[in-house]
Amino acid sequence: MTHTLLISSAIVALTLAAQQQQPPAQAQKPVEKLAPYYPTPEIVVERMLKLGGLKRGEKMFDLGSGDGRVVIMAAQQFKADSTGVEFDADLYKQSMDRIRSLGLEKRARIVHGDIAAQDFSSADLLTVYLLPDSNLKIRPMLEKQLKKGTRIVAHDFTFQGWSPDREEHVEDDGEGRSHTLYLYIR
């Protein structure tokens, strides 16, 4: 009798614990990894933001913001209102810690979430360093959301089906690597 009671209590306890660990139904959709973490060298970040014509007070978003370097430079050097989206918990924390330590919270933030679940309709500029197939996947969402005139700067990989308004090469990033940047104006 006591044994049965113990087993029943254990099942109830485990079920309750499992329920507590379950995220809410709407948060269960798995996040698709659109690119591995591979940071853009700072010198290239600056070229991307210049190519995108980023101005003071404009809203910019970095899609898959890694350690936050694009968002931070946009806020610090270009005085833009910048937002990164990053699903990796460590990178999210690292970038938010850096934003706070630099006192940039008013102009810069990172959303800990999935690029595919965001609204970019307020953007003046987007920066993107994702894989070619991923650019293709997010293209319909951007076509739906972006206002006319939004600029998109893509690093190394194009948006198949869109033709770039400008293209720029960075011959040497200081580490012997070359980069290509594509500017699209919607």
Q: Are 41 and 73 in contact (CB under 8 A)?
A: no
Closest contact distance (angstroms) between CB of 162 and ligand SAM is 19
Of 88 and 124, nearer to ligand SAM (C-beta) is: 88
Smallest CA-to-CA distance from 69 within 92, 104, 95, 97 is with: 95
- CA 67-69-73 angle, 5° bins: 155
* Residues of span 100-139 touching ligand SAM by CB under 6 A: 114-116, 129
Q: Binding of ligand SAM at residue 64 (CB under 6 A)?
A: yes
Q: Binding of ligand SAM at residue 58 (CB under 6 A)?
A: no
Q: Binding of ligand SAM at residue 91 (CB under 6 A)?
A: yes
Amino acid symbol at 59: K
For ligand SAM, which residue of 6, 12, 14, 31 counts as binding (CB under 6 A)? 31
Q: Is 117 helix (H, G, I), strand (E, B) or coil?
A: helix
Largest CA distance in the chain: 78
Q: For residue 161, give every residue at least 6 positions away whose Cβ sits within 8 Å of its Cβ, in sequence order, or none.
A: 136, 139
The tokens of 93 are what? 């924390």
Closest contact distance (angstroms) between CB of 184 and ligand SAM is 17
Q: Is 63 helix (H, G, I), strand (E, B) or coil?
A: strand
Q: Binding of ligand SAM at residue 35 (CB under 6 A)?
A: yes
Closest contact distance (angstroms) between CB of 154 and ligand SAM is 11
Closest contact distance (angstroms) between CB of 94 and ligand SAM is 10
What backbone phi and psi angles, to 5 degrees, belong to 89?
A: -65, -40
Q: Binding of ligand SAM at residue 85 (CB under 6 A)?
A: yes
Per CB under 6 A, residues contacting ligand SAM are 31-35, 37-40, 62, 64-66, 69-70, 85-88, 91, 114-116, 129
